[in-house]
Amino acid sequence: MVANDWPISRLNMNLQGMEPSATVSINERSNQLRAEGVQIYKLGLGQSPFPVPPSLAQALRDNASQKDYLPSQGLPSLRRAIADYYHRELSLSYQPESILVGPGSKELMFILQLALDGELLLPSPSWVSYAPQAKIIGRPVNWLPTRYEDGLKLTAQTLEQNCENGGERPRLLVLNSPNNPTGVCYHPNELKALADVARRHRLLVLSDEIYGAVSFSGEQDSIARYYPEGTIISNGVSKWCGAGGWRLGAMLFPPQLQPLLQAMITIASETFTSTSAPVQFASVWAFEDSSELTSYQRDCRAILSGLGRHCWQRLQAAGAELPEPSGGFYLFPSFEPLRAQLEARGVSNGRQLADRLLGDTGVAVLPGECFGRPAEELSLRLAFVDFDGTRALAGLTNASRPEEHWLRRYCAPVVTAIDLMVDWLGS
């Protein structure tokens, strides 16, 4: 049998019709267009624009010779540092034995769903990979509606209504704050209300805190503070240490969920075996208390806060509806208020809008349907990270939020991209 005759019927049925990750695809398409000489503004992939902190990079160089297989659960000193970090930052108590380290939080989320037998509950919109992972494994996904009036946050009332109608089947709720794709953070009173519903209905909660240290206020919170017995925390070094390509993630489990942790360790041992040894040894530094990291994160937050607010104001003034960002590096505007004029230009859904923006302005964004919004909705996700983070950090003279003249100098591609979008909308 030649390769071209290999029958598709032999593929896992769950994979039929699936495409590669939308964020990865838009990044590769943008790079290809740039290679062809097209001016592209990359607002599609959410990768930190900032360099890895110098001491963390040095730690990796110092540990380059580490070559042994480490425990599948992770390097003990790294797990201890992560436990100390959560006690220091959020007053949460975890033992190193209750932490699992993996090659990126994305991989750990996949094996979490593999180890569980239940339904996935996702606020709409949510990050692009939660639902496809569930589909690959064969788990049902239940999208929970959100409204722009509520900042696109899941409310306790909506969760309560879903649970009342959902029977007794096991459910995993994913909560991400600061949020990808909206840029919003959940407030303590909102987390407490959601925790009350989750406890009453015995939900399992995955608190995705990969952007926790990129909350613009500098204050982190977690639903685990209000529902510790039923919450798993996910984190890593990709967003707040600029080390996405290092692929280092971790999950923290309460004592009540130790059987689940043990099941995931078994899966880890039979799949990725262990996470890169040099990366694990180096990453101990990332979770320790240091003035260098504190200053680095403070400056990154100042730049992202100023840039996010500028983009939010410009799009809002142009007629878009969107929540003000309070963490991370994303915006999720709806252009429904401009539907009539966009339909007159042949644009009636989010995918058409994203395609037209790319073709007419060179601005690469993703349609809202990639994140669980209705296909007909005129919504987009923007990642405002297309700038030289090393240069921006060097040009920051104080820790206050920079003004427009500074942003136009140090974050020019993003500011220009928003200008082009606004001009296109008004043309």
Nearest to 89 by CA among 218, 253, 229: 218
Q: Please check the confidence at residue 27 and state whether its pLDDT lies above 90.
A: no
Domain boundaries, the chain: 3-51+292-426, 67-288
Percentage of residues in the chain with pLDDT exceeding 70? Answer: 96
In this prediction, residue 70 has a pLDDT band, given cuts at 50, 70 and 90, of very high
With tokens 């689940």, the residue in question is: 260
Model pLDDT for residues 73-91, shown as the tens digit of each residue: 999 999 999 999 999 999 9
Percentage of residues in the chain with pLDDT exceeding 90? Answer: 86
Q: Please check the confidence at residue 9 and state whether its pLDDT lies above 70.
A: no
Q: Please check the confidence at residue 3 and state whether its pLDDT lies above 60.
A: no
User: What integer pLDDT is reported at residue 30 of this predicted model?
Assistant: 81
User: What integer pLDDT is reported at residue 1 of this predicted model?
Assistant: 44
Cβ-count burial 330-366 (b if 16+ within 10 Å, e if not):
bbbbbbeebeeebeeeebebbbbbbeebbeebbbbbb
Local structure of 249: helix, strand or coil: strand
Nearest to 27 by CA among 244, 220, 174: 244
Name the burial class of residue 308, with classes exposed (0-12), middle (13-18) and buried (19+) by CB atoms within 10 angstroms of its CB. buried
Residues 6+ positions from 143 with CB-CB distance below 8 Å: 122, 123, 124, 372
Q: How many helices (H) and strands (E) does the chain have?
A: 15, 12
Q: Please check the confidence at residue 401 and state whether its pLDDT lies above 90.
A: no
Handedness of CA 54, 127, 207, 96 (dihedral sign): negative
Rounded CA separation 262/181 (Å): 31
Q: Please check the confidence at residue 393 and state whether its pLDDT lies above 80.
A: yes
Distance spanning both ends of the chain, measured CA to CA: 56
Architecture of domain 3-51+292-426: Alpha-Beta Complex (3.90)
Q: Within a 13 Å sphere around the CA of 253, how many CA atoms are in the beta-carbon half?
A: 19
User: What integer pLDDT is reported at residue 164 of this predicted model?
Assistant: 87
Q: Please check the confidence at residue 17 and state whether its pLDDT lies above 80.
A: no
Which DSSP letter does residue 51 get?
A: P
For residue 213, give both structure tokens: 């240290």
Rounded CA separation 415/421 (Å): 10
Residue 380 dihedral angles phi and psi, to the nearest 5°: -140, 155
User: What integer pLDDT is reported at residue 37 of this predicted model?
Assistant: 87
User: What integer pLDDT is reported at residue 50 of this predicted model?
Assistant: 97
User: What integer pLDDT is reported at residue 12 of this predicted model?
Assistant: 81
Nearest to 320 by CA among 390, 359, 378, 242: 378
With tokens 């899966």, the residue in question is: 267
Sheet strands (E) in 5-138: 41-42, 99-102, 119-123
How large is the average pLDDT for residues 224-253? 96
How large is the average pLDDT for residues 172-189? 97
Cβ-count burial 60-87 (b if 16+ within 10 Å, e if not):
beebeebeeebbbbbbeebbbbbbebbe
Model pLDDT for residues 322-342, shown as the tens digit of each residue: 999 999 999 999 999 999 999
User: What integer pLDDT is reported at residue 8 of this predicted model?
Assistant: 61
Rounded CA separation 153/155 (Å): 6
Nearest to 47 by CA among 275, 302, 389, 391: 389
Instruction: Identify any residues that bridge with 347 across adjacent strands, giving them in sequence order.
Output: none
Q: Please check the confidence at residue 427 and state whether its pLDDT lies above 90.
A: no
In this prediction, residue 368 has a pLDDT band, given cuts at 50, 70 and 90, of very high
In this prediction, residue 31 has a pLDDT band, given cuts at 50, 70 and 90, of confident
Candidate CATH numbers 3.30.1360.30, 3.40.50.300, 3.40.50.150, 3.40.640.10; the one for domain 67-288: 3.40.640.10
For residue 331, give both structure tokens: 């915006």
Model pLDDT for residues 194-226, shown as the tens digit of each residue: 999 999 999 999 999 999 999 999 999 999 999
User: What integer pLDDT is reported at residue 4 of this predicted model?
Assistant: 62
8 Å CB contact between 338 and 424: no
63 φ/ψ sector (left φ>0, alpha ψ -120 to 50, else beta): alpha
Element (H, E) at 413: helix 412-426
What is the average pLDDT value for the chain, to the nearest integer?
94
